[in-house]
Amino acid sequence: MASRTLPDDRGRFGDFGGRFVPETLMTALGELERAFAEAQADASFREELDGLLHNYAGRPTPLYFAENLSRKLSGAGADEPPSLRIYLKREDLAHTGAHKINNALGQGLLARRLGKRRIIAETGAGQHGVATATVCAMLGLECIVYMGAVDVQRQALNVFRMKLLGAEVRVVESGSRTLKDAINEAIRDWVTNVTTTHYLLGSAVGPHPYPLMVREFQSVIGSEAREQLLAAEGRLPDYALACVGGGSNAIGLFHPFYDDESVRFIGVEAAGEGLSTGRRAASLSAGRPGVLHGAYSYLLQDEAGQVEETHSISAGLDYPGVGPELSFYKESGRAQFAAVTDDEALDGFRLLSETEGIIPALEPAHALAYLAKLAPDIAKDSLVLVCLSGRGDKDMETVAQALGVDLV
């Protein structure tokens, strides 16, 4: 079944997806689905969004040939051509420093179309919260961001950024006090204020139509990269790599290449302290299907169906679920999924900083770390596309702490 025709009208990607929410939200989800479909068909909506993506967010983002990294991972000498050619899709250069702005702009315009002037959002690493606060400031919308107390602590800089942008940050103290609980709290808010409020969900998770909508707004990543790579190399990549938490940058990169069967998709999850330790956040690698936050998808859960607490050094990957379309990719074999540990991610973080002078966020550092492990097994002259989903400024404190460096 072609993914382009999915989800079906019940919001299913194969078995995955759906709409498992309290009845109170069902009417709003139906309205959102219709409004999104109408907006997609409306040339003036596309035009306004494209204009903002270009003039406000700085798109298209560059596609950068990482020659030093390619050489290093090929094991090639300084004067030899590298046997691998690695290209980075520079979402870190988009306004606010990550791919999250693509979706925030799309949904912000949609909320305005729905006449909803109060916006709520969840955030883990704070990137989606910052992107949402940014768009709300620009569109003149009220903005409330839910953020787990643990994340507030490890991403203090982004909390400050959100406040500067005029958003109210509500600290979530329940459960594991991370992204999962921020989503719970955002859903509780939405249930209570559904007639006036749009929930600007930041990943390709949640009830239908969110996984579809977020994929469509993020597909600009893959569409641009496809065009840019064809222009640079005259051919499609052999591999496309992205990190996977909820999976919005991954599905945004992969989807436009879906029908290009020669392009191998690899999603890289967070193994935390190791897949077998219980301190990890790799739902596709270590979970089994279940229902959380409105969708049937891979989920880290115990025998009794209770959602497990997760761990990752990267707040943006620290989530027990994953988008339903990536679960479908796993089941159908269209994508492979791997996981790397916190320590490996730190190695990936340093690798790109030192070879290319680009400090990545800890999230895409997972994809880079896996690429470093995979490189010896990749055929000569392969073309590799990596989504560099965000920049690392927000992670300075976390990395310094992990490396035992005192910043003060």
Size of the residue set binding other proteins (CB under 8 A) = 37
292 sits near other proteins (criterion: CB under 8 A): yes
Residue nearer to other proteins on the CB measure, 117 or 188:
188
The torsion defined by the Cα of 296, 297, 298 and 302, in degrees rounded to 10, comes to -20
Region of 77-85, 144-152, 177-185, 381-389 interacting with other proteins (CB under 8 A): 177-185
Among 306, 333, 404, 406, binds other proteins (CB under 8 A): 306
122 is catalytic: yes
15 sits near other proteins (criterion: CB under 8 A): no
Taking the CA of residue 383 as centre, how many other CA atoms within 13 Å lie in the half-sphere pointing to its CB? 15
Among 7, 14, 16, 19, binds other proteins (CB under 8 A): 19
Residue type, 239: Y
Residue 351: other Cβ atoms inside 10 A? 19
291 sits near other proteins (criterion: CB under 8 A): yes
294 sits near other proteins (criterion: CB under 8 A): yes
389 is catalytic: yes
27 sits near other proteins (criterion: CB under 8 A): yes
Among 58, 62, 166, 175, binds other proteins (CB under 8 A): 175
Among 6, 86, 120, 187, binds other proteins (CB under 8 A): 187
The torsion defined by the Cα of 74, 79, 80 and 81, in degrees rounded to 10, comes to 80
Q: Which residues pair with 171 in a beta bridge?
A: 147
Residue nearer to other proteins on the CB measure, 173 or 260:
173
Among 55, 174, 277, 401, binds other proteins (CB under 8 A): 174
**What whole-number distance in Å separates Cα of residue 318 and Cα of residue 311?**
6
Q: What are phi and psi of 374, to 5 degrees?
A: -80, -30
**Helical ranges in 255-361 per DSSP H:** 283-286, 324-332, 342-356
Region of 41-49, 128-136, 187-195, 219-227 interacting with other proteins (CB under 8 A): 187-195
114 sits near other proteins (criterion: CB under 8 A): no
Give all strands of the β-sheet with 335-341 in edge-to-edge order: 63-65, 84-90, 382-388, 239-243, 264-272, 335-341
* Least distance from other proteins to the Cβ atom of residue 203, Å: 16
Among 227, 259, 305, 393, binds other proteins (CB under 8 A): 305
* Least distance from other proteins to the Cβ atom of residue 146, Å: 12
Among 6, 21, 125, 361, binds other proteins (CB under 8 A): 21
The torsion defined by the Cα of 281, 282, 286 and 289, in degrees rounded to 10, comes to 100
Which secondary-structure segment (H or E) carries 40? helix 23-41
**What whole-number distance in Å separates Cα of residue 322 and Cα of residue 298?**
6
203 is catalytic: no
293 sits near other proteins (criterion: CB under 8 A): yes
Among residues 74, 203, 312, 389, the one annotated as catalytic is 389
Strand, helix or coil for residue 217: helix
299 sits near other proteins (criterion: CB under 8 A): yes
Closest by CA position to 124, among listed 274, 277, 291, 293:
293
Residue type, 290: G
112 sits near other proteins (criterion: CB under 8 A): no
What sign results for the dihedral spanned by CA atoms 329, 330, 334, 340?
Answer: positive
Task: List, by residue number, the catalytic residues.
Answer: 100, 122, 389
Q: Which residues bind other proteins (CB under 8 A)?
A: 10, 18-28, 174-175, 180-181, 183-184, 187-188, 191-195, 290-294, 299, 301, 303-307
